[in-house]
Amino acid sequence: MPVTFRRQDKLKFTVLEERIGLAITTGFNRLGEQLITSLQARSPVDRGTYRKGHKKRITGRGLKTTMRVYNSSSHAEWVEKGRKPNSKQPPPAVMLALVKRKGLGARAFSVKTRRAVSAGTIRTTDRKTGKRRTAGQSFLKQQKSIAFLIGRSIAREGIPALRQYLNLKTDEAARISAAITRIRNNIVALANA
């Protein structure tokens, strides 16, 4: 935000610089909260950690104060940029973590009997070794199967890009320009007082 003054004295390390920084920080706080609220309202409901991950960071001092709006979620890049169809499958460990976090394998159904199975009731025989698997091992196998199917679906169909941050400047242009004008007026009032 370039602002020019017609004063001869230097602003660095003065009370005026501190007041200007405070005016900018106050304006950025208000603008940042409005932008975060707007981003959260436009975020999909099913992506909870992404929706809650919108944050702002204000750094610098005086006229060098800057604000950065970002998402702290670990998968924010994939939600923002999307994933092309027919790309490679996401890592199995990540997909298994997703299945466990969402609780998708908590109530699985047996393919043979079509009855609901849970971690305590699955007991089958391993085809390769002929030994009986424990309930925990069978439950993990069910979860891995679900994770593989979700990953394969993502690889085939892709994930559509949300592009909230890319379009933020154009979508919120009126709000941003009004905030910049308000901040600029506060700075001019402080500098010319």
Paired tokens of 77 = 């890049």
- Work out the burial of residue 160: count CB atoms within 10 Å of its CB; fewer than 13 is exposed, 13-18 middle, 19 or more buried: exposed
**pLDDT tens sequence for the chain (193 residues):** 455 555 555 666 677 788 888 899 999 999 999 999 999 998 887 777 888 899 999 998 887 889 999 999 888 888 888 888 998 888 888 888 888 887 776 665 666 666 666 555 555 666 666 666 665 566 788 888 889 999 999 999 998 888 888 888 899 999 999 999 999 998 888 877 6
Name the pTM for this structure: 0.66
Q: Is-contact 5 12, C-beta < 8 A? A: no
Eight-state DSSP code of residue 167? S
Beta bridge partner(s), residue 58: 67
Domain boundaries, the chain: 15-80+161-191, 83-157
| Spatial separation of the C-alpha atoms in residues 118 and 27, rounded to whole Å | 53
Amino acid identity of 28?
F
